[in-house]
Every structure is written in C-alpha cells, then in structure tokens.
A and B are shown apart, each in its own frame.
Chain A
Amino acid sequence: GIQVEQSPPDLILQEGANSTLRCNFSDSVNNLQWFHQNPWGQLINLFYIPSGTKQNGRLSATTVATERYSLLYISSSQTTDSGVYFCAVNFDYGQNFVFGPGTRLSVLP
C-alpha cells in the first residue's frame, strides 16, 4: 500500500546544532510539502517541493523524486525549532495528502 516514512522518529539537539530529516515515499508523487507543527498544534508550511532544492533562511530541502525521498536540513537550530516535522505527499492518483508519521524535534538551550 501507500507508504510515507520519516526518520528519525525523535531527535534531540543542542541549540546551534545542524540536523537532517528524511522522508521516503513508496510511489511517484505530484506534490510534496514539509510542515512544522508547533506546540500549539498549528501546521506551518515550510516548503512546497515536489522536486529540486529550495532554501529559506536556516532551512533547506531537497526532493529527489526519481529515488522517492526528500530531505529537510535545519542549520544552527534554535529552541523555537522544536515541534513535529511532517512530510506530506500527494500521489499521482489522488488529490489528498498522505502524511508521514513525523519527526519530533527537541532543541535544548
């Protein structure tokens, strides 16, 4: 069946450290987005990235659609980066997103 996997499931970092989050998906995709869910539950769009590489400040993302994975890079992490990071994928045959299980990030001061 359709699968979206994320790794690692949990990550604890010291403030200032860098990290890489991975998303693997089982089928070809139309769209891929990365979200940050903050402690208040809001889903914040980070990147819309069905392919290629994008950067936004300390964050960047790369999607290699042919190899069915995407990476989210966080550099110089801050405590406000804490929360759950979701990868969500829209497969070729449907409109809705299938979310991965998320990576829970804790950044310690």
Chain B
Amino acid sequence: GAGVSQSPSNKVTEKGKDVELRCDPISGHTALYWYRQRLGQGLEFLIYFQGNSAPDKSGLPSDRFSAERTGESVSTLTIQRTQQEDSAVYLCASSLGRGGYYGYTFGSGTRLTVV
C-alpha cells in the first residue's frame, strides 16, 4: 500500500485480556519497528525486524509482550494479560533499509485503553 497501515485504530479492553495489534508495512520495506507512546511522552522502542534476521526484542517491557513478522510482510504485536499501564498509543514504522539513510514511515498507531 501507499503507507503503513495499522489496525485497529482504537482498542478498549478489559484488564487481564489479551490484545493483538496489526501493522501492514509499505511493500518492499525490509525493516519494521514497533514503538509505544504513553500520554504526553516520547516514543519508546519495543522491537525491530529486519528481513529474515532475528528480531531485536530488547525494548519489550515484559514477557507479556511479543511480536511476530512473517518475512517482509504484516507484523502483529500481542500483549497478554493486559494491565492499565499498557494503555498507550502503539506506533509501527517501516523503512527500506535500517532507517537512518532512508528514513522511517510511521503508521497512525493503535490507541489501546485498558479499563
């Protein structure tokens, strides 16, 4: 597609439930990133995928968070047993290479609210 697509746009869930967030990157972009943005704050790195290499998971805050990506296509971020502190906007970005030279293209994010 023309841009990075994320779904759902908004998600309200009950504490303790699992949620799955989806990111559809720009076709041909080998790199894909997930970031978390808490209200009024900057973006926190969560995870990075580059082609078929092992992902960089060093930003995942706990083992309740996991992400998958098949090849260079769609990625899903899963949060198990959601907590209120998980409430945030989750942003996905993709880039042609590692990002510095080519730049990142971001999606519009998923706003997750845990009640």
Bound together? no
B binding-site residues for A, Cβ under 8 Å:
none
A binding-site residues for B, Cβ under 8 Å:
none
